[in-house]
Chains A and B, each alone.
Chain A
Amino acid sequence: MSFHEKSAWVMALVLLAGAGFYFGTVADMSTELGIVAPPVLPVVVIYIVAIIVLSIVGHIAVAVSKPSEADDTMDERDRIIASRAGSFSGVLLGVGVITGLGHYLFYYDGNLLFHMALGALMLAQFGEYAARIVMYRRGV
């Protein structure tokens, strides 16, 4: 498994954990309030900081596990995979944001719009790394 594939696994797992934390927190808050909880800055900040810290720690662990490959630059296959995964990610982001905007047009729930937009961003990023993993495993 190349450094870039391991990196994709790290990012996919970190993003999954981050999304679990964020939406778990929002769900708990919403249950207590009885409505969709508004976006709360500290929760968003904790999410972002956790993602950054976990991804750095994960990449250090991957680099330490095989230092000889840690400074590998992307070769032609890596670049094709990254490009196709990026396109897939863009589609996910677009669909997610349009879904959120469409929902807002009917229900005028700004809180939900925020969560859906952020969720679309999370989904798009996760989808990008998941697509990379699939292409590394199955071929391009």
Chain B
Amino acid sequence: MAKRPPITNRVKELREAHGGMSQAALGKAIGVTRQTVIAIEQGRYSPSLESAFRISRLFGVGIEDVFGWAEDEV
């Protein structure tokens, strides 16, 4: 089984805090499919740096407010 990326995120939390933005709407806003947003939220995919910046700018927060590093990883 593929190892989960050690990057955590608060995308779902921020999306819900922004008026319950749908996964499809977020995907369209940053240029990925709804399935990719789902994969990011579930920790099955770490987005590119460009997409990470797009997400953080969309929510008006810093990139480290959205993404973090799993503490148990080196």
Contacts and interface: CB of A to CB of B under 8 A. Distances in A.
A binds B: yes
Interface of A: 1-2, 5, 69, 72, 75-78, 134-136, 138-140
A5 B51 CA distance: 21
A138 B33 contact: no
8 contacts: A76-B32, A77-B45, A134-B2, A136-B35, A138-B2, A139-B2, A139-B43, A140-B2
A78 B36 CA distance: 8
User: What secondary structure prevails in chain B residues at the interface with A?
Assistant: loop
B35 A135 contact: no
B45 A139 contact: yes
Interface residues of B, number: 18
B36 A76 contact: yes
A119 to B, nearest CB: 28
B35 A1 contact: yes
B45 A72 contact: no
B58 interface: no
A15 B2 CA distance: 25
Given A139-B44, A139-B45, A140-B45, A75 B32 contact: yes
A138 B44 contact: yes
Contact of A138 (B1, B31, B36): B1
A75 B36 CA distance: 8
A77 B1 contact: no
A24 to B, nearest CB: 33
